Amino acid sequence: MTQRHDGDGWLAVAERAIALATAEGATQAEALITAEDSALTRFANSEIHQNVAETNAHLNLRFVIGKRVGVASTGRLDAEGLRAVAEAAGRIARNVEENDTFVSLPEPKGPIPDLPLAFAAGTADATPELRAEGARAVIAAADAAGVVAYGSFATTTEALAVANSLGIRAAGERTTSQLITVSMGPDGGSGYAEQASVDATTIDAAGLGREASDKARATANAVSVEPGDYPVVLEEYAVVDLLDMLGYLGFSALAVQEGRSFAEPGRQVGSELVDIWDDGADPLGLPMAFDYEGVAKRRVSLIEQGVCREVVYDAQTAAHDGVRSTGHGLPAPNPYGPFPLNMLLGAGTSSRDELIGGLDRGLLVTRFHYTNPVHPKLAIVTGMTRDGTFLVEGGRIVGPVKNLRYTQSYLDALAGIEAIGRERRCLRGFLGGAVVPAVRIAAWTFTGGTEH
Amino acid sequence: MRDLTDRALSTATVRGATYADVRIVRRLEESIAIKTGRVEGVASGETEGFGIRVLVDGAWGFASSLHLETDELDRVAAQAVRIARASATALRRPVVLDDRPAAHGTYATPLVEDPFAIPLERKIGDLLEADRAATRVRGVAYTESSYGAQREWKTFAASDGSYTEQEITHVGAAVEANAIEGDEHQRRSYPDAGGGWSAGGYENIRALDLAGHAEALAEEAVELLSAPQCPSGRFTVVLDPSQLYLQVHESCGHPTELDRVFGTEASYAGTSFLTTDKLDQGFRYGSDLIDIVADATAPGGMGTFGWDDEGVAAQAVPLVKAGIFVGYLSSRETAPRIGRRSGGAMRADGWNRIPLIRMTNVNLLPKPGMSLDEIVQDTDEGLYLSSNRSWSIDDRRLNFQFATEVAREIKGGKLGRLYKNPTYTGITYEFWRSCDAVGDERSFRMLGTPNCGKGEPGQGGHVGHAVSGARFRNVQIGVGKW
C-alpha cells in the first residue's frame, strides 16, 4: 500500500469537502472518495509484455441547492483542491435548472455491516514478483502442453469513503484479484480459464494454466457445424454474460421506471430451477458492504424459481417508488441508474459430466465474446463463442467446432434451463463480481459462423 | 514541467533503465446529461498525474501516480524499474525500439470557441432546446441528450531528449428519442449513436444544429413502433455515414492494429485475421474502390495530434489501397518487426495508463463520381441503413453483426418506407469486396467514438473516422427471431 490514508482517513477528507460545500451554500452535499492501488501484469506469446501499477484517488462532490444538483470531481485532495472542487460543484448547482425527480440524498439507516472478508492482505501486499510468478506458472503449463499462453494477473486495493450532510458515513477497504488466461495451439486450438478472488494468494495460476492449455489442445483442428438451434451446456465463463446482460437490461429500478425492462414482479421468465440474487455480503463473491451513495447493500432476490421478484434501487429511484434504496447506487451523475454488482446464480445438483451427458446432440460453449443487445426489451443479444466450442453427441464430447455467432433472447435462455451445475466459480463481470455455475439450456439460436 | 520530467527520467536511468519516458497529463472534463426535458446531471472533473515507462533488460515496466511531487516521482520511477525487472523474469524476445528523430515542439487542437469558456447556462440551454423539441413529439417515451468536452494538457519527455507539449480539445453532443409500446422499444439518435464527438471547439456543437434535427428524429422513433419488421434475405445495402464509420472502426481499424496481430490483446479483445503474411501477399481486403488511411493529421478528427505518446510525429499511413491491404497501425516496438518505421499510433488514456496502438483517424476516402444521394438514385432496390444500435464482431475481426436504428426501403432510386429492427451480418473481407460505390466529397464527414475499448487495465480511446457513405451488394439482412 502506498496511499496516504486508509478508509477512515479518506472519510476525514470527505467530511472536509462536505463542510466546504455547506459553507459555499449547499443545502445538501455528498462526497465520495475512491482511492486505489492497483497493478496488472500482462503476458502474451508466453512472456510478460506489459506490467503496470497505479496509485490513484478521486473525489466526487455532489452539491445540492434545493432541487438543483451539481457534481464536480478532482484528483487533488489537498486543501486547495477541495476548495476548488467545492466552488466548481457550487457553480454548476447554481446554474442548472431544478430537477423535479431529485428528492434528497440518502439518510443514514443504521450501521453498515463490517465485511472483514472483503479485504485480504495477500492482495494488498502483492508485489510485481508475485504477479510474475503467477504468469510464469501459467506459461509453464502452456509450455508443457505445447501451446502458447496469453493473459493477465491483476491485483487491486480500493478504499471507498462516502459522507453526506445528512449523516451518512461509510468507509472501508476491499481487495480484488483476477487471473485470466487464453492458451492457443498451433492447429487453431484455443482455451480459456479465469479465477477472481479477494485474496491473490488463493489464485491457482498453475491450475488455470493447465485448464486453458488442455482446452487449447482439445480444440485443435475444429470443424464447422451448421448454424441453427442447438441445446447447449454453457460453462461458467459464458453464464456470467447472461447475468451481466440481464443486470444491464432489466434488474435496475430505473429500467423498470422508464419502461425498458423485462422485469415485472410475479412474471415467470426463467425455469423453476433459476434463482438469481444480488448480495454484496456473500463471501463467495467479491464483497462490497455499501454502495457509492454510502447506503448498506442488502440482499435482493431478483429471480426466484424463475419468477421476477425485486429490482435494485439507488436513492433517486427509491424515492420515485416510495421505497428504500437497496444500496446499488453508482457514482453521480448517473444516467444509467442502479446496478447489481454482486450477482449470484443458485447452484444446482449436476456435475459437469451430468450436464454434458444430458445433451443428445448439442454444443458445449466455454465462453462468449463481444456480446451486445440487439432488442433490449426482449433481451435479445448477439455475440460469438470463443476459446473452446465442442459438439456433443449421445452425451459425449465428439470434437471441437469452429466458433459460431448467436442471436438469442437471454430470457428464453433462462426459461430453457434444464439443469444447473453444483460447482460455482467467482468471476469478474463487466462491472462487479459474479458467482455462477454451468448450465444446460434446451435451445440456443446460432445464426452464423466464422473461419476459426 | 521540465524539472519534473528530468527528475523522473534521471531516477529511472540511474536505477537501470536503458530507455525511459514520462508523461505528465492534466485532463479537464465537463458533461451535461438531459433526460426528457430535465437536466439530469451536470458534472466537471479534473485529474492530473504522471506515468513513467521504462525498459530494463529489454522488458517493460510502467508505474503512475497522481501525486506530482519530487519524492513521488522518485518512488514511482523506482517502482517502474522494479516492475520491469519482474517482467524480465518471463521474457523471450527483448524489446527493440525503432529509431526516430527526437521530438520537440508544441501542438494545440485548432478551435474557434473554447468550450470551457462558454457559460454553462448557455450550453445547458442549447441542449435543453434540442431535447425539448424531441420530448414534445407525441408518443416519445423518453429522450436523452448529452454534451461533453474534454481537454488534455500533455507533456511528454523521453531519455533520448524528446520533449513535447500538447493541448488536445474534443467536444461532443447528441440527442436521442425513445418510443416504447409493449415489447417494442425504438430509438433514433442524431448525429450518431456515439455522441457526436469531434476535435475542436464549441463551433462544432453549433454546426450540428441539434435543435433543427430533434423533432424529425423523434417522429421517426415513434413511426418505427408501427413500421414493419425489416425483411430478411440478401439485399443491396447503402450505409449512411452514421453507420459506416463504425463498420470501418470494427472491421478495418481494429484488425490493422499491429499489437493485436502479434497477439498482445489475445486474452482480452482477441487477435486479427490480417496477419503479416497477408501484408506480404497483397491480400485483397476490399473492392478497387476501397482506400483506407490512418490519418493523424486530418482536421477535426479525435485521432489528430502533433505526436503520439511515444513522441512519433503525426502522419497519414495507408492501410488499404485500391482494395489491397498495405499497412498497419503501429508503434516503435511493433513496426521494426515487419521492417517498417512506427506509424505513430501509440496513445494512452490518461496519465495512469500505458500507451497502446490505437486508431488515429481511420478514414474511408471518398470517390469522385456520385454523391450519397446519387448512389441511392442509382440503386433499383435495396435498403438504406442509418445510425448504429448494436455491434459485435468475432475475436479475429471476421464475422460481424450490426443492428441499426432504422432501415429505409430503396425502390427505383428513391427512399421509401421505414423498417424497424434491421440487422446485417457478414465476413469482413467478403463485405468490403462487395462494395461497388463510395460517396464523393459532398457527404464526406468526420465522425468518431470517444469510448473505443482496449487493453488491460481497460482504456477508452478517442478515435476518428471520416466517411462519405457506400453501397454494398448481396448483404445478408436479418438474423434471429422476433
What the block records as the C-alpha cell of B244 is 459506416
Cell representation of residue B77 = 520511477
Question: Percent of chain B at pLDDT above 70?
Answer: 99
Query: Which of B395, B397, B431, B475 to mutate to probe the A interface, most A CBs <10 Å?
Result: B395
pLDDT at B480 over 80: no
Place of cell 492458451: A183
Q: Rounded mean pLDDT of chain A?
A: 96
- Asked if residue A8 has pLDDT above 90, the reply is no
Segment A410-434 mean pLDDT: 95
Spatial separation of the C-alpha atoms in residues A55 and A36, rounded to whole Å: 6
Neighbours of A198 (CB within 10 A): 22
AA letter at B3: D
Residue spans per domain, chain A: 7-205, 222-452
- State the pLDDT at residue B193: 83
> Cell numbers at residue B391, please?
455491434
Average pLDDT rounded to a whole number, residues B51-59: 98
> Does residue A6 surpass a pLDDT of 80?
no
DSSP state of B252: I
Check if the beta carbon of residue A215 is closer than 8 Å to that of residue A187.
no
In this model, does residue A4 exceed pLDDT 60?
no
The pLDDT of residue B482: 52
A369 confidence band (pLDDT: 50, 70, 90):
very high
Q: Does residue A1 have a pLDDT over 50? A: no
Is the entire prediction scored with pTM above 0.90?
Answer: yes
- At residue B100, the pLDDT reads 87
Distance in angstroms (rounded) separating the CA atoms of residues A152 and A193:
11
Q: Residue B63: what residue type?
A: A
What element of type H or E holds A354? Answer: helix A352-357
Mean per-residue pLDDT for A110-122? 93
Enumerate the β-bridge partners of residue A382: A372, A407
Dihedral, B241, B247, B248, B251 alpha carbons, nearest 10: -170
Buried b (16+ CB within 10 A) or exposed e, B423-457: bbbbbbbebbbbbbbbbbeebbbbbbbbebebbbb
Banded model confidence at residue A300, pLDDT cuts 50, 70, 90: very high
| A127 interaction partners in chain B (CB closer than 8 Å) | 86
Q: Which of B96, B59, B94, B66 is nearest to B80 (CA)?
A: B59
CATH superfamily of A7-205: PmbA/TldD superfamily (3.30.2290.10)
Instruction: Give the mean model confidence (pLDDT) for residues B134-142.
Output: 97
pLDDT 10s digits, B364-377: 999 999 999 999 99
Residue B414, beta-bridge partner list: B411
CATH of domain B2-225: 3.30.2290.10
Mean of pLDDT over chain B? 96
- Quick check: A53 and B480 CB within 8 A? no
Distances (CA, A) of B397 to A452, B458, B462, B467: 11, 19, 20, 20
Q: Is the pLDDT of residue A64 over 90?
A: yes
pLDDT over threshold 50, residue A108: yes
Angle at B145 between CA B142 and CA B149, to 5 degrees: 160
Mean pLDDT across the stretch B258-282? 97
Contact B61/A at CB under 8 A: yes
B234 touching A (Cβ < 8 Å): no
pLDDT at residue B68, as a whole number: 94
- The ipTM value here is 0.95
pLDDT at position A3, please? 55
Name the residue ranges covered by the structural domains of chain B: 2-225, 233-477
**Can you tell me the mean pLDDT for A302-310?**
98
Q: What is the amino acid identity at position B464?
A: G
Section A423-438 average pLDDT: 93
Cβ–Cβ contact B443 with A under 8 A:
no
pLDDT value for A100: 86
When mean pLDDT is compared across A233-237, A333-337, B478-482, the lowest value belongs to B478-482
Looking at this protein, which amino acid is placed at residue A406?
Y
Per-residue pLDDT for A370 more than 90? yes
Q: What is the pLDDT of residue A355?
A: 98
A375-419: pLDDT as tens digits = 999 999 999 999 999 999 999 999 999 999 999 999 999 999 999
Of A42, A58, A386, the CB nearest to B395: A386
- Contact list in A for residue B481 (CB cut-off 8 A) is 407, 445
Return d(Cα B414, Cα B227) in angstroms, integer.
18
Copy the grid coordinates of residue B11.
531516477
* Cell digits of residue A41: 501484469
Stretch 20-39 of chain B: residues touching chain A, C-beta under 8 Å: 31, 33, 35, 38-39
